[in-house]
């Protein structure tokens, strides 16, 4: 956990607490249907955290999930997250997710527009 603060014109970051990934039992996104940056991490106790944004909360959860799959291969519970944005095998996934999602939505919308303008015989 990192604390962010300003000293004069400089931004500072201080490490407050560290955990091992192997000790993480669950990540709770609190509400999958709302756009909020709050989540809980369950270790030997529950830590209530706030990410910079909802997108960074999902990026953090995806990163922890990838690290777990790569190194630990343990059953890590990730609850109250929208699976569409959490899984890499999803149609919406990429490294630059926001741009790709927008491009795909525009592509599908233009296809629907073209199909609606075609006369049926």
- 37, 48 Cβ separation under 8 angstroms: no
**pLDDT tens by residue, 32-80:** 888 889 999 999 999 999 988 888 899 999 999 999 999 999 999 999 9
Residue 21 included in any domain: yes
- 68, 20 Cβ separation under 8 angstroms: no
- CA-CA-CA-CA dihedral for 40, 42, 47, 49, to nearest 10: -30
pTM for the complete prediction? 0.67
Domain of 52: which CATH number? 2.30.29.90
Residue 98 included in any domain: no
Distance of CA 24 to the CA centre of its chain: 17
Residue 118 included in any domain: no
Short-list 90, 48, 46, 33, CA closest to 65: 90
**pLDDT tens by residue, 73-101:** 999 999 999 888 887 655 544 455 566 67
Tell me the residue range of the domain where 46 lies: 2-91
Residue 46 β-bridge partners: 42
Residue 119 included in any domain: no
Residue 110 included in any domain: no
Where does residue 9 rank: exposed (0-12), middle (13-18), buried (19+ CB within 10 A)?
Answer: exposed
Split into its structural domains, the chain has a count of 1
Residue 23 β-bridge partners: none
- 103, 91 Cβ separation under 8 angstroms: no
């Amino acid at each position: 956990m990192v604390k962010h603060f300003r000293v004069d014109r400089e931004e500072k970051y201080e490490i407050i607490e560290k955990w091992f990934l192997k000790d993480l039992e669950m990540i709770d996104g609190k509400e999958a249907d709302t756009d909020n940056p709050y989540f809980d991490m369950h270790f030997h106790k529950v830590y209530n955290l706030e990410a910079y944004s909802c997108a960074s909360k999902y990026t953090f959860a995806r990163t922890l999930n990838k690290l777990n799959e790569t190194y630990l291969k343990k059953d890590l519970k990730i609850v109250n997250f929208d699976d569409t944005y959490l899984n890499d095998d999803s149609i919406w996934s990429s490294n630059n997710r926001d741009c790709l999602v927008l491009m795909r939505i525009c592509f599908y919308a233009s296809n629907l527009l073209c199909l609606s303008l075609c006369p049926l015989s």
